Amino acid sequence: MIEAKDINFYYGDFHALKNITMEITSNTVTAFIGPSGCGKSTFLRLFNRMNDLIDNTRLTGECLIDGQNIYSKSVRVDELRKQVGMVFQKPNPFPKTIFENVAYGLRVNDIRDKSFIAAKVEESLKSAALWEEVKDKLKKSAFELSGGQQQRLCIARALAVSPSILLMDEPASALDPISTSKIEELIHTLKQAYTIVIVTHNMQQAARISDKTGFFMLGELIEYNDTKKIFLNPDKEQTENYITGRFG
């Protein structure tokens, strides 16, 4: 369970997120849609404190995961990021072998058992629907993979440390339609074991893969509801205008 309570976020004097409150239930896919610069990626990055890396930012309100405020001083950010994995817009494999890309998080966490690491790498690649394509070339560079395969490798890398939440910031926007379809199928499968939050510019994608959708505009959460409701019968005129292409 993820809860945002009256979240306000500032880049310097710029008020990027305004009074956002929402709940995201476990084992669901939640999509954030809205025009560029509306705050959806900023909001997504709050859930694993990626915005902490940006200077001169400020947050008010509460962001809770399973009832714990993840911005309290007692929270260790490295432990939080084990629980909350992240996949970015462009595939970003490390300059290592396919095997070492997936094993990286385990090694960073001082896991040295070779048989455990090997089993976890295989399990993660299978979960990312990539094992059959790479099982015979685990020692080859990750850069030899196609863009779609690299993105699934990055998903496998995130899964290897056993998170409960997976954040995805436009994970298919740099991919071709076939690779995009594979990522969408993967998301549908993964939600049985993970809570997934995805930012997407592709409204058809949001409609296909998500259980709930939040529509953002100018830093505000305009509407948040079941995806079918958002796309077929939204409550707010602004949402309908965006969905039907009248602006944005």
Report the C-alpha gap between 50 and 21 in whole angstroms: 19
Torsion of CA 100, 104, 107, 112, to 10 degrees: -30
**What is residue 18's predicted lDDT score, i.e. its pLDDT?**
97
pLDDT in tens, 173-219: 878 888 888 889 989 999 999 999 999 988 999 999 999 999 999 99
Of the candidates 197, 194, 232, 193, the residue with the CA atom closest to the CA atom of residue 216: 197
Mean pLDDT over residues 124-145, rounded? 95
Residue 168 CB neighbour total at 10 angstroms: 26
**What is residue 1's predicted lDDT score, i.e. its pLDDT?**
86
Q: Exposed, middle or buried: residue 141 (CB in 10 Å: 0-12, 13-18, 19+)?
A: middle
Position 248 pLDDT exceeds 90: no
> Which H or E run includes 217?
strand 212-217
Report the C-alpha gap between 102 and 156 in whole angstroms: 6
pTM for the model stands at 0.91
Rounded to whole angstroms, what are the CA distances from 176 to 92, 203, 204, 218? 17, 16, 15, 30
